[in-house]
């Protein structure tokens, strides 16, 4: 499921988003690869410690495909051994924002009533997910 030009065009305003736009830009660069698919409910990365510093690499699924969510794709090739630590170092976001981005991308609001007042990170990732998955 490569990112088509139409979806990229729809995502364009979100690239400019002050706090989370860079996360999306990094993720899109990974999703543009022919052998990578964006996917809900799948971080899709692992710590590759073959080099001097452990970096996040794409996981290969049993069917030979690579799939990852917004957070997973943004982690690829970044150093670190903990998702929240790497996101803090790379993007200066806190663990609650990481959770909200995951929940928004997956479409599951863990903070209670989604209509109440979801966090900004959730709303951002939710809109991105709607574009990617034609929701």
- Could you tell me the sign of the dihedral formed by the alpha carbons of 13, 5, 25, 116, in that order? positive
Give tens-digit pLDDT for 10-48.
Answer: 999 999 999 999 999 999 999 999 889 899 999 999 888
Assign 58 to helix, strand or coil: strand
* Alpha helices in 1-119, H assignment, sequence order: 5-15, 21-31, 70-75, 83-91, 95-106
Give the global pTM: 0.88
pLDDT band at 61 (very low <50, low <70, confident <90, very high): confident
Residue 127: beta bridge partners? none
Mean pLDDT of 3-10: 83
DSSP letter (8 states) at residue 77: T
Give tens-digit pLDDT for 108-127.
Answer: 876 655 567 889 999 999 99
Per-domain residue ranges of the chain:
5-132
């Amino acid at each position: 499921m490569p990112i088509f030009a139409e979806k990229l065009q729809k995502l364009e305003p979100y690239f400019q988003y002050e706090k989370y736009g860079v996360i999306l830009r990094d993720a899109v660069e990974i999703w543009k690869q022919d052998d990578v698919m964006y996917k809900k409910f799948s971080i899709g990365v692992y710590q590759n410690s073959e080099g001097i510093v452990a970096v996040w690499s794409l996981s290969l699924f049993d069917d030979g495909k690579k799939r990852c969510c917004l957070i997973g794709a943004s982690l690829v090739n970044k150093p670190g051994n903990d998702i929240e630590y790497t996101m803090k170092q790379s993007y200066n976001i806190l663990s609650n924002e990481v959770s909200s981005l995951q929940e928004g991308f997956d479409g599951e609001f863990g903070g209670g009533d989604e209509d109440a007042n979801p966090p900004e990170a959730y709303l951002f990732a939710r809109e991105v997910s709607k574009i990617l998955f034609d929701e």
